[in-house]
Structures are given as structure tokens and as C-alpha cells.
Amino acid sequence: MKSMSMRTFFSLLLNLNFSFGFCFVAIILLISLSCSDKMVDPDVDKGDVIAEVFGEKLFSEELKDMMPDNAKSDDSTLIANALVDRWTRKQVLLYNGKKDAIDREEIERLVEDYRESLILHEYEEKLLQQFSDTTVTKEQVQTFFEENPGQFKLKKPIAKFNLAVFPKNSIEDSYNEVKKLWDGMDDAVNMNIDLIKYLDLYAEDFILDTSWYAIDELQTALPENINLSLLKKSHRLELEDQESYYFLKIIEIAEETDDAPLSYIRNFAHKTILQRRKMKWLEKIKEDLYQEAASNNKIIKYEN
């Protein structure tokens, strides 16, 4: 198998978001690979030596591979100089890291642990691709909600509301008609056809659904902040600024520390149920593989 070069591995690290501890193991792996890096394709012409640090050499062909594909010719010299500088700094760090590194046996153990972790992670991901039981029913969500009381306390007030914003010049002559239609609306499903036309033709923006929104989101859509107590007391409000009329209908408000409404946490519940089901399925697959290996006498435990 062809070995991974130091440069390729280092580039891979730059594009992955590891934790500090994980990065440390990866850097140790990089150090251990450095010794074999020179043995890769010895007959390949690497061009002229561009830089050298403690005996490690950077060749022109290697520098060419580092250059971004979309680099402009005017910037190529600046980019090349920056890459050479980064390479030389990395070599100084690697040299001192190898000189002061922990013992080789510990390095090999860390490298092997890292390699095994990658293999296990990739294999589990492939197994999970076979998982197909992704249907979550309303009853399952309801049961999940009931079995986990207290986990879904609201951290801020939320509300269901209908909102329509009309530019003043669009309904100046028909404001009273629009207001009458809006005030007479019981729900978004059974809206008067004339109100639908006004919304469709003239509204700058409108919200007509049964979703929950944070009160903060509602406030940002209004021309001024409305006190929560007023929103609870006045279910219909008409506001305006210099350019627009705002028609607001509060459907329901849930306050901070209340239990979150089921519809509000439905997506979270759905994802949690599915994730638990996946993990349970994965554990069963692992156990089946273990039992299969045991039944085929592939597992031998010796007495200590």
C-alpha cells in the first residue's frame, strides 16, 4: 500500500475539526509517519530543492502540489512564499517535537489506538447506512413527551400568532375594509376570500400558520416592542410606522418556565426518538456479530 505523505496528512488535518486531544494523537501519528515519508516513490523527480530545515527538504514539485488550483498568476509568488514559510515553520516544530517526544512504544500505542478508532467509526457509519426504521408516529412522540416531564421547560416565552404587514400606500383607501376582514378572521383555514386577495396582492409580509415563535422573533417583526402582558391581554393589535400598517392576532402564548407545547418540541422529540432507535439497532448488530464470531469459535479466552 502506498504510504501517505506528511504534506497530504497535514492538509487532511487542516480540513478536519478534531478536539485538542484527538489532534494531539493525530500529530503524534504525523511524527511517526515522517520517517517513512522519504521512502515514498524514490524514483519520482521532485524537482529542485526550495527549502531545507534540519535535513528535511522541500522540492519544487511538492510546492507546486501545495498551490491552490484557482491561484492567480499575479499572486502566485506571494502564495508560494507563504507556503514555504509555513512549511519551514512546521518542520522546525516537527524536529523539536520528535526530539522531545515520548518514547516510541507509547507513540506506537497512540497511533494504533487512533487507527482503530477511525476504522470503528467508519464501520459504524456504514452499518448505520443500512438502518431503515425511520418512521416516528404521533403516538410515539406523545409517549416520549409524557415519559420525560420537566425536560422541556421553556427558557423564554413563545407565541402562536398571525401577522400581516401592508405598505400604507397599498391599502390607504381600503384600510377599514382590510381591518374589518382581519378582525373577522377566526382562523387561517377559513379566511374570507377577499382577505386572501388583499394579502396576496398587497401585503409586504404575512404569517398565517400554527407554528410557535419566540416572542423575540415577533418583536423584531413589529415597529415597536410590545410588553408581554399587553400581548397576553390584547389578542388583536393594529400598529403602524411611517411606511406600513401591522395587523397582529395573538393565538396563544406560553410563558417562560411553562412546559413546552408538544408541537414546539415535536422536531426535537422526533430526532431524539430516531437517534435512540438507531443506537439500539446498532448495539444489536454489534451483539449479533459478536455472537456469530463466538458460535464459530473465533473467540478464545485464556485463563489468566
Same domain, 180 and 284: no
pLDDT of residue 44: 64
Q: Do residue 245 and residue 99 come from a single domain?
A: no
> What's this model's pTM, rounded to 2 decimal places?
0.53
What is the span of the domain harbouring residue 101? 6-123
Q: Is residue 95 part of a domain?
A: yes
**206 in a domain, yes or no?**
yes
- Distance CA(18)–CA(277), nearest Å, equals 27
Task: Please name the residues in contact with 3: beta carbons below 8 A apart, sequence gap of 6 or more.
Answer: 33, 36, 37, 39, 40
Measured CA to CA in angstroms, residue 265 lies from 143, 144, 145, 154, 279 at distances of 13, 11, 9, 10, 21
282 shares a domain with 207: no
pLDDT band at 240 (very low <50, low <70, confident <90, very high): very high
Cell of 82: 507563504
Tens of pLDDT along 137-155? 989 988 988 888 777 888 8
Indicate the helix (H) or strand (E) that contains 49: strand 49-53
The phi, psi pair for 210, rounded to 5°, reads -110, 25
Q: How many structural domains are present in the chain?
A: 3
**Residue 128 maps to a domain:** no
Higher pLDDT, 29 or 193: 193
CA distance 223 to 221: 7
Based on the domain organization, do 102 and 171 belong to the same domain? no
Give residue 208's pLDDT: 87
pLDDT at 24 over 60: no
Query: What is the pLDDT confidence band of residue 51, given thresholds at 50, 70 and 90?
Result: very high
Share of the chain above pLDDT 70, in %: 83
Claim to verify: residue 284 and residue 227 sit in the same structural domain: no
- The residue type at 167: P
Under the banding of pLDDT at 50, 70 and 90, the label for residue 274 is very high
- Coil/strand/helix, residue 58: strand
What does the pLDDT look like over 211-233, one tens digit per residue? Answer: 888 898 899 999 998 888 888 88
156-167 pLDDT, tens digit per residue, is 899 999 999 999
Collapsing DSSP to helix, strand or coil, 161 comes out as: strand
Question: What pLDDT shows up at residue 226?
Answer: 87
The answer to the question of residue 201 being in a domain is yes
**CA 277 to CA 133: how far, in whole Å?**
8
Same domain flag for 216 and 276: no
Residue 30's pLDDT band, with cuts at 50, 70 and 90, is low
Task: Judge whether 250 lies within some domain.
Answer: yes
Co-location of 173 and 277 in the same domain = no
pLDDT at 19: 45
Residue 261 lies in a domain: no
Angle at 229 between CA 224 and CA 232, to 5 degrees: 95
